[in-house]
Amino acid sequence: MEVPQIREVVLQAIERINLARRPKDRLEVSANAPIFGPGSGLDSLGLVALLIEVEEALQDAGHDVTLSDARAMSQTQSPFRDVPSLVAFIASLMAEAR
Amino acid sequence: MNRPRHILVTGATQGIGLALAKHYLQQGDVVVGCGRGESTLDHPHYTHACLDVTDEPAVRRLFKEIRSRLGCLDALINNAGIASMNPIALTPFETAQRIMGTNFLGTFLFTHAAIRLLRTSGSGRIVNVTSIAVPLRLEGEAIYAASKSATATFTRITAREVGQFGITCNAVGPSPVRTRLTESVPEDKIEALIARQAVPRWANPADVANVVDFFLKPESGMVTGQVVYLGGYG
């Protein structure tokens, strides 16, 4: 799976998460949108819900990826801070798996 | 639910785990069991995976298989446990690591993987097995009790984190049950423990199953973060 496809999976997962959120709490759906930390209304439990959505979509596409990382809650180093960092993190996990 | 429940039991090769696997098969559920050894259980709705609960790649393979075969999981029973009753001063570091690994880290690893599949159930259940060794604070059982204490705390925090997915997480703390684990403890020591119980008798696997049944009931959706000890401890 290439970066544009991974990004699409992430954006679709954000859209699905948004369906369960109040309009004022919905997350931005764009290629550079923040996910977790400054500029995002997502708390840690909301982040878990989003990442599980992403994992399931990746598994449906045949990629067994687990999105766990010790830096998850870091304001500066979290791979989950925005869409580009999450996409890059998933791409690196897939490269490792290969 | 108009299909059999899908229940995963760790440590299903013997003792309480085996009894729970048989109990749920008798109720018509589909049971996946795992343990380090082969299973003697032969039932069309039972599948067994030989693995160590601390072997992360093996655990991931098991969940991948469950996902492709069953689609979702309705209950995870983290039962696998080991013990080595020794004073702290006589306990090798490797033994302490092994006990914490199986009793606590195994519970973490299975919970971590199961959240994904339990979420799909709509009313997922996690039941962890702790021990009356926690409230009793018995000398000679420090590592075992600490691992079960960790499991009890883990249960309460897991309940808070998975509630958003409609999943509950509770624990049962059996009083002494005749299993290979209690065989290693001198009979007089166990009898002294039982004498301190409000209900002074050996527990049966059915006593444990009764508590697990309660946690698994659809009506128990508001029961979470609880630890129930058998025999009147707590």
pLDDT, average across residues B149-164:
97
**How far does the CA of residue A53 sit from the closest CA of chain B (Å)?**
9
C-alpha–C-alpha distance, residues B229 and B219, integer Å:
21
**Which residue on chain A is closest to B158 by alpha carbon?**
A45
Distance, CA of B70 to chain centre: 21
**How far does the CA of residue A42 sit from the closest CA of chain B (Å)?**
14
Domains and CATH numbers, chain A: 3-97 (1.10.1200)
Helix (H, G, I), strand (E, B) or coil at A90: helix
Distance, CA of B47 to chain centre: 18
Task: Please tell me the predicted confidence (pLDDT) of residue A11.
Answer: 97
What's the domain range around B186?
6-226
Provide the number of structural domains found in chain B: 1
* Secondary structure (DSSP) of B42-60: --TTEEEEE--TT-HHHHH
Q: Which two tokens stand for residue B75?
A: 């209950």
Report whether pLDDT(B57) > 90: yes
C-alpha–C-alpha distance, residues A31 and B171, integer Å:
43
CATH number of the domain residue B84 falls in: 3.40.50.720
Task: Please tell me the predicted confidence (pLDDT) of residue B234.
Answer: 59
Q: Is residue B172 part of a domain?
A: yes
Q: Is residue B233 part of a domain?
A: no
Q: Is residue B231 part of a domain?
A: no
Element (H, E) at B162: helix B142-162
State if pTM tops 0.95: no
User: Across A28-42, B138-152, B172-186, which has the greatest mean pLDDT?
Assistant: B138-152
C-beta of residue A53 within 8 angstroms of C-beta of residue A16: yes
Q: Is residue B211 part of a domain?
A: yes
Q: Which two tokens stand for residue A66?
A: 């687990």
Give the phi and the psi of residue B177 in degrees, each rounded to 5: -120, 140
Pick among A17, A56, A69 to test the B interface (most B CBs inside 10 A): A56
**Which residue on chain A is closest to B160 by alpha carbon?**
A45
Among B93, B98, B88, B158, which Cα is nearest to B128's? B158
Predicted interface score ipTM higher than 0.85: no
C-alpha–C-alpha distance, residues B120 and B72, integer Å:
6
Q: Which two tokens stand for residue A9?
A: 């999976």
Q: Is residue B59 part of a domain?
A: yes
pLDDT, average across residues A32-49:
89
DSSP letter (8 states) at residue A10:
H
Q: Which residues of A touch B115 (CB under 8 A)?
A: 52
